[in-house]
Every structure is written in C-alpha cells, then in structure tokens.
C-alpha cells in the first residue's frame, strides 16, 4: 500500500500499523510533522521517554504522542505506545523528511559511457560518474559530487553535495554520506629517503558496509595495501578523519572532530567521543567508550569507559597544577628518599 501523501499528514492508525505500535485514543488524528513535547502544537507528533514526563504529556498541545508503556493510561492526546519511545520516534519522524529528488540524470551531469546507473537512481547537477562505476537502485548523487572510476554504490545510498568518492571504493546499501566528505584519498604514508620524505604508494581501497552514516566533511583514506573498512551500522559524525588501513567495527559511533591514525582497529559497539585522538596501530576492544578529547596512544584490551585530559577549570587553578606537574619527578625522588630513610615500603 502506498504511503499517505505527506503534505496531507498521516493518521494515527496508519502510523501505528506501519511501525507496529499500540494506538490509544483517536485513531483518526492526523499529524503533519514533529514537535517538542512542550508546548507542542496541533497536528504535531511528540514523544515522552519516561514515566516522569506524565504531567508534560497531559499539558502538551501535540495531537499525537509516542509514550512508554507506563503512560498508556493517560487520558489526553492520542498515544502511540512503545517499549522504546525514542527509537520509535526516530523511525516515525523519518516519514516527515523532505522527499528525495526524482530519478534521472541532470543535463549538466557527466556520466561515463561504461558506468551503470539504475533507472531509479538520481544524479544531480554537475555531478561526475566515472568509468565502470555502478549506482544501484534508489541511489542519490548530490550536485557537484564526483564518483570516480570503479566505484560501486549499493541500493538506496544517498551521497550529499560536493562529495568525492575516489576509485576502488565500495559502498553498501542504505549508506548516508554528508556534503563535502571525501572517501578514498591517498593516505598519509611517508618514508625517509636520501632527499627527504618520500610518499608510500597507497594501493588499497575503501569498503563501506550497509547502513553506515558518514558526516559532512569527514575523510576516510584508502589503504596502503589492504582496504580501509567501515563495518555495518557504524555512525561517523561530521569532520572525522579515518586514516589508511583502519577498521571500524559494527555499530560503533564516532563523534565529531575525532582523528584516527593509520592501521588502527576499533571493535564493535564502541562509542568514541568528540575530539578524541587515537594513535597509529592501536587496537581497541569491543564495547569500549572513550570520553571526549581523550588521547589514546596504546591498545585498549578490556571493555569499559576510558578518559584522559583534564576538565576545564579556572586558569589560576590550572597554572598551579601545571607548576606541580613540572616538578613531579623531584617530588617523587624526595618521597622515595623519605620512605627509604624511614623503612617505608613504597608502591612496587
């Protein structure tokens, strides 16, 4: 059955059936977009995540609210009851996203004669598609993007504007790549020579699995020999750099401005905070959480939460602590002499 026309809204019953949610209240209520729970608005869809928001749901002017099971007894707006309200809201809200462009190739686009472009794909203005490239069903290539030779892009993947996908990159299905991203540039590999540093040939590719998201202006370098790999369901924020030969595990999340040096392997279901720096040839276990602005120069072998650096503090306090850091070696040596003189055993 075709979706209702978005401009005319969606009935509560239609949404309940589509997303397998329990509907409480008026099933004919129509919503035409999302809204905050407070104050809410007529024909708006809101959500409450916990039972503590009962009073906010009762006061909301939203026409339809997604709620947890504990709030299913509310006598107020129409409800959609979910065991995971935030996830359900994300899924339902997606129906209100702006529809994609119509299939077809813009007149100003350049598509190589050996490229294969599915009939349902869309290639935007001034985009370039190289030789032997493949664009699957429902693929969207934004205006001004460049898809090099021998690139393979899977079903329903959306490439933003001014994206560069270099040769020998493979992208799976339902991938989202933000504007300005660059995949498959040569990695930063250098070796000392008689006349200075010389570049190491980067002969690998990039492999992006299904359901990955890559944010705007992020960069993923191609491998030197083996491919750089981003596995299924990984989510990469804006302005993230992933160097050559890295492997990013399934469903790992990487926040903005993180830099990951070459040949690093990050496990599955990890959470990497913003502005994290990870050294080269580091291996990180599954399920690791690294808080924002941390530095990771060595392997992390055990699941857990890891942090480094200091929280912001008044500059005067920071300068006092910095002065102590500079004399820590002398303080340690003095403490050892005192312990030795008094027969006190220090830490091993």
Q: Which residues belong to the active site?
A: 244
The upper half-sphere exposure of residue 211, i.e. CA atoms within 13 Å in the direction of its Cβ, equals 8
Query: CA-to-CA distance for 182 and 178, rounded, in angstroms?
Result: 10
Can you tell me whether residue 318 is helix, strand or coil?
helix
The upper half-sphere exposure of residue 68, i.e. CA atoms within 13 Å in the direction of its Cβ, equals 10
Three-state SS for 156-211 is CCEECCCCEECCCEEECCCCEECCCCEEEECCCCEEEECCEEEECCCCCCEEECCC
Q: Which of 81, 83, 48 is nearest to 62 (CA)?
A: 48
Q: Which two tokens stand for residue 62?
A: 């939203």
Cis peptide preceding 243, ω within 30 of 0:
no
Can you tell me whether residue 293 is helix, strand or coil?
coil
């Amino acid at each position: 059955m075709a979706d209702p026309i978005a401009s005319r809204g969606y009935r509560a019953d239609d949404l309940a059936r589509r997303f397998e949610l329990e509907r409480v209240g008026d099933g004919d209520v129509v919503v035409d977009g999302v809204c905050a729970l407070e104050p809410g608005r007529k024909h708006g869809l809101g959500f409450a995540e916990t039972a503590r928001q009962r009073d906010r749901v009762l006061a909301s002017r939203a026409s339809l609210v997604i709620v947890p099971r504990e709030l299913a007894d509310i006598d107020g707006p129409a409800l959609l009851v979910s065991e995971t309200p935030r996830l359900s809201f994300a899924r339902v809200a997606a129906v209100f996203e702006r529809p994609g462009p119509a299939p077809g190739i813009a007149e100003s686009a350049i598509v190589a004669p050996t490229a294969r472009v599915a009939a349902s794909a869309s290639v935007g203005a001034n985009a370039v598609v190289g030789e032997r490239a493949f664009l699957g069903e429902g693929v969207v290539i934004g205006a001004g993007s460049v898809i090099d030779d021998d690139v393979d892009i899977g079903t329903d993947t959306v490439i933003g504007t001014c994206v560069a996908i270099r040769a020998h990159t493979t992208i799976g299905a339902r991938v989202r790549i933000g504007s300005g991203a660059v995949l498959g540039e040569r990695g930063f590999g250098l070796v000392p020579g008689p006349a200075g540093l010389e570049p190491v040939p980067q002969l690998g590719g990039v492999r992006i699995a299904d359901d990955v998201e890559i944010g705007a202006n992020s960069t993923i370098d191609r491998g030197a020999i083996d491919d750089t790999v981003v596995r299924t369901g990984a989510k990469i924020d804006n302005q993230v750099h992933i160097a050559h030969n890295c492997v990013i595990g399934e469903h790992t999340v990487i926040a903005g401005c993180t830099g990951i040096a070459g040949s690093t392997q990050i496990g599955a279901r990890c959470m990497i905070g913003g502005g994290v720096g990870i050294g080269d040839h580091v291996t990180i276990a599954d399920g690791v959480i690294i808080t924002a602005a941390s530095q990771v120069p060595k392997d992390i072998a055990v699941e857990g939460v890891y942090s480094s650096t200091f929280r912001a503090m008044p500059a005067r306090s920071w300068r006092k602590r910095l002065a102590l850091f500079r004399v820590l070696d002398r303080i340690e040596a003095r403490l050892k002499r005192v312990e030795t003189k008094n027969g006190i055993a220090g830490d091993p």
